[in-house]
Amino acid sequence: MLSIRDLPNVLTVTRMLLVGPLVYLLLTERYVAALVLAVVSGVSDWLDGALARRFSWQSKFGGVLDPLADKTLMIAVYATLAWLGHLPAWLFWLVVLRDLVIVSGGLVYHYRIEPVRTEPTRLSKFNTLCQVLLMWAVLTALAGLVLPQIVIQGLIWLVTFTVLATMFQYVAIWGLRARAVVRNRNLQ
């Protein structure tokens, strides 16, 4: 039975369920509705996190599901926008590469070194914000609202920079941690 404590997880699951309709709206060129759904998804992401932190409603399930919902939404929308020619395909592949490097690095660390404590860095949170802002900016322009092209181009380059920076940041952080753990094991 669901309780009020489950509200953040319900919002996260709902956000995941909105991915399919959002992609459909993009493919059928219903850009205003797609923008509305993307904004609703972003607000629900903020709200589930705020509720979980404010009322200590965090759960292991939510800790895994929330980033999965974020990645599912972002990858699906970026893939669709790239497919339709509204985002550069290389940017989509760079975002995917970053996520693959981080996930595979985390798995290697988890199984070869020690259990991973997932803690997004400030730069990683900024990267996520930049990716969301780019998605909203492209959808805003597609919806017919006036947005200077320089804003989208600037966001593309900002996302590119933060994607590369966070990918290398996580490799460095986990590499240094792994080295320290292995060194400590060898000294014992």
Residues composing the chain? 188
Where along the chain do its domains lie? Answer: 4-187
Contact (CB, 8 A) for 187 and 122:
no
CA–CA distances in Å: residue 153 to residues 37, 74, 110, 128, 135: 23, 18, 37, 17, 12
Q: Which residue has the higher pLDDT, 54 or 24?
A: 24
Residue 26 near residue 84 (C-beta atoms within 8 A): yes
Which pLDDT does position 185 carry in this prediction? 84
Q: Could you tell me if 12 and 69 are in contact, meaning their C-beta atoms sit under 8 angstroms apart?
A: yes
Terminal-residue alpha carbon distance, the chain:
48
Answer CATH for 4-187 from 1.20.120.1760, 3.40.50.720, 3.10.105.10, 3.40.50.300: 1.20.120.1760
Separation of CA 181 from chain center? 29
Of all residues in the chain, what percent carry a pLDDT higher than 70? Answer: 100
Rounded mean pLDDT, 48-62: 84
pLDDT at 2 over 80: no
pTM: 0.90
Please report the pLDDT score of residue 82 as a whole number.
98
